[in-house]
Amino acid sequence: MSKKTIKLPISANSLILVIVMLLITVIFTAINPNFLTAANMVNILVASVQIGLTSIGITFLMMTGGTDLSAGAVASACAVFVAWGLQNTPLNWVVLVLLAMVMAAVAGTLNGLMVTKLNLVPFIATLVSQTVWKGVGYLLCNGKPLVLSDKGLSLFCKGRLFGVPYTVYLMFVFFIIFGYILAKTKFGRSIFAIGGNAEAARLAGINSTRIKILCYIMTSVFAALAGIILAGRMNSANPASNANIHFDAITAANLGGVSMVGGVGSISSVVLGVLLVQAFNSGLNMIGVSQYWQYVARGVLLFGSLAIDFYRQRARMKRLLADSMKNL
């Protein structure tokens, strides 16, 4: 008699994230009842935009086996560029944002070329890029934050529909679009193939170099958009802002089941990872944890996600080995 298996409507990893989110909600609400209010839930969504947008590019990149430590520096440099342009040129904010996207695409292209053509380790290549773009941001503003007070950009970054900012809707639209691209298109299947076995993907005719470069471009462009939105919300572009945006995005993607070695992941689970990370960060602020201890807590959270990823990867390898033994 065959055993019937019960198929859950969500993955086991997503279910764990939901349970963890409920637990931290209970804990933070017990300490500060204001945590579980409609206003704070909206604030968490608003603050999630920066991590969420960056995590989309990071997810695609991590699934190819890559990483990017320069996303925060690119985000800040592009935000400062827009503020500088509004003060020193007659250009409209829309044109400046588009130019900033081009600037970010150049940064992503250079990252991709260093990794694919010079064969630099992604960690080293993007660390170099981080230093360069951090310098660009400081040069544009002489090390001082620039006021950003354009009405059109402010409306885009702060405007609300039914009490929720436009940028939150924009984030979820991008999640849906790129979730579909990853799960249902040839490009998405190529991402899985490259992360699973780069050599086999090459032999199958997949241009892994082009796809990896595109993923680096995506990461930089999404990070730049996130940085500009933050600057628009704060009415100020600061070259020191967004310093940890890539850190939180990598943590969210990893918690969402995206393997650090590539080949495994989904956007839907990353959404839960993003909300969990931001709820955790917001909760720490609301219960009065000092900024220094928050760094420690974030490090512990990332360590936990990496440990979980290690055990997921080991379990996956055991299953593959068991399946291969069955076929002998």
Q: What does DSSP say about strands 236-237 and 160-161: parallel, antiparallel, or unpaired? A: unpaired
Query: Average model confidence (pLDDT) for the chain?
Result: 86
pLDDT of residue 2 exceeding 60, the answer is: no
Q: Which domains does the chain have, with CATH numbers?
A: 41-281+293-305 (1.10.3470)
- Confidence check: pLDDT of 199 > 60: yes
Side chain identity at residue 226, one-letter code: A
| C-alpha to C-alpha distance for 20 and 197, rounded to whole angstroms | 32
Residue 323: what pLDDT? 63
Among the listed ranges 52-66, 96-110, 176-190, 236-250, which one has the minimum average pLDDT value?
236-250
220 token code pair: 């930089």
Higher-confidence position of 270 and 309: 270
Distances (CA, A) of 264 to 31, 42, 69, 256, 320: 37, 31, 20, 10, 14
- Between CA 248 and CA 52 the distance in angstroms is 9
pLDDT in tens, 91-127: 999 999 999 999 999 999 999 999 999 999 998 999 9
Predicted confidence (pLDDT) per residue in 226-243, tens digit: 999 999 998 888 888 877
∠ at Cα 122 (120, 126), nearest 5°? 100
CA atoms within 13 A of residue 198's CA, in its CB half-sphere: 13
Residue of 115 and 150 predicted with greater confidence: 115
CA separation for the pair 167, 50 (Å, rounded): 10
Q: What are phi and psi of 138, to 5 degrees?
A: -70, -35
261 vs 207, residue with greater confidence: 207
pLDDT of 7 above 60: no
- Residue whose entry in the numeric block shows the structure tokens 């945590």: 35
What DSSP character marks residue 1? -
Confirm whether pTM is higher than 0.85.
Answer: yes
pLDDT of residue 106: 96
Note whether 250 and 59 are within 8 A (CB): no
What pLDDT is recorded for position 307?
Answer: 78
Percent of the chain residues past pLDDT 90, beyond the cut? 40
- At 305 the pLDDT is 74
pLDDT tops 60 at residue 8: no
Per-residue exposure over 70-97, b if at least 16 CB sit within 10 Å of its own CB, e if not:
bbbbbbbbbbbbbbbbbeeeeeebeebb
For the ranges 32-46, 216-230, 239-253, 256-270, the maximum mean pLDDT occurs at 216-230
pLDDT in the model for residue 117: 92
How far apart CA 177 and CA 293 sit, in angstroms, is 37
DSSP codes, 7-38: PPSS-HHHHHHHHHHHHHHHHHHHH-GGGGSH
Residue 162 has pLDDT above 50, yes or no: yes
- The pLDDT of residue 203: 79
